[in-house]
Structure 1
């Protein structure tokens, strides 16, 4: 089975992507952590075994006028395109939502505004093994992580099919006034 980056490396990369894309926004903008998630990869469409996780972070962006959301979306999309991301879903102007995927490492990002005038920027990793290596058959994750050798530097993830963007099912129905879950 293929090795992956570790969960820690995936978390660091989603944070780095958000931090870098955030720089495309005006100096008046600030960001506050909205949610951090570790979700088990249970979708069979990515062709991989169970026991892997997606790591994601979402930030609420403040300090940007609602009337300027359109130009801020354009600035972030321009940054994404210049950094290897491809637009997968762009629901503008009907909805203020754009979802992208990086072809070289399969990380996803999104920007969304809601009818309450809130703006969110987030990133999600591809499926990764907790310690970068598959667990031994029948061995609990904690044991596998404790006995696994220190992984080599993170290999470059191979792009592979992943589940459809969450927005296609229920993203628009999400209650963004609730807090996120802890990582």
Structure 2
């Protein structure tokens, strides 16, 4: 059971990743929080099945972007991600406007998805981290 970044650092990293990725989108973009930061328990057997580690996540609606530009905006995000060390884990286009990626260096994951109404959202999540950075004794 190895030390990880703590939950606070993971929360900062998730926000940083979203800020970096959305910087490639048009200036009309407004981020609207979708539920705030989450911390979901991990059932990570690599940590011996111990209780305590969490995966931190955050989702935003991408408001202020014309729906007719959704495919181009998703392509801008995908280009940013592939140029910056992410690998595509799932690309559901053209059936669904959804792309999922993982940072090859730190295993943080990101996605962009379209709702049935055509609204785009962006999400980022951390790998499993210990709330205090180390397993509890």
TM-score normalized with structure 1 length: 0.71
Distance 1:135 1:83 in 2: 34
Distance 2:38 2:117 in 1: 23
- Preserved CA contact (<8 Å) 2:53 2:131: yes
Tell me which residue corresponds to 2:29: 29
Distance 1:119 1:43 in 2: 30
Tell me which residue corresponds to 1:78: 79
Tell me whether 1:55 sits opposite 2:53 in the alignment. Answer: no
Tell me whether 1:112 sits opposite 2:104 in the alignment. Answer: no
- For the pair shown, which has the larger CA radius of gyration, 1 or 2? 1
Q: Structure 1: where are the runs of 5+ without partners?
A: 137-183
Distance 2:17 2:75 in 1: 17
What secondary structure, in the 3-state scheme, does the structure 1 residue paired with 2:43 have?
A: coil
The residue correspondences of 1:1-183 to structure 2 (distance < 5 A) are 1-35=1-35, 36-44=37-45, 47-48=46-47, 49=49, 50-136=51-137
- Preserved CA contact (<8 Å) 2:110 2:125: yes
TM-score normalized with structure 2 length: 0.94
Q: Summarize deviations over 1:49-91 as a string: whole Å, max 9, x none.
A: 3310000000001111111000000000011111111000000
Q: CA RMSD in A?
A: 1.0
The size of the alignment, in residue pairs, is 134
Distance 1:37 1:130 in 2: 13
Cα drift, residue 42 of structure 1? 1.7
Q: Structure 2: where are the runs of 5+ without partners?
A: none
What secondary structure, in the 3-state scheme, does the structure 1 residue paired with 2:72 have?
A: helix
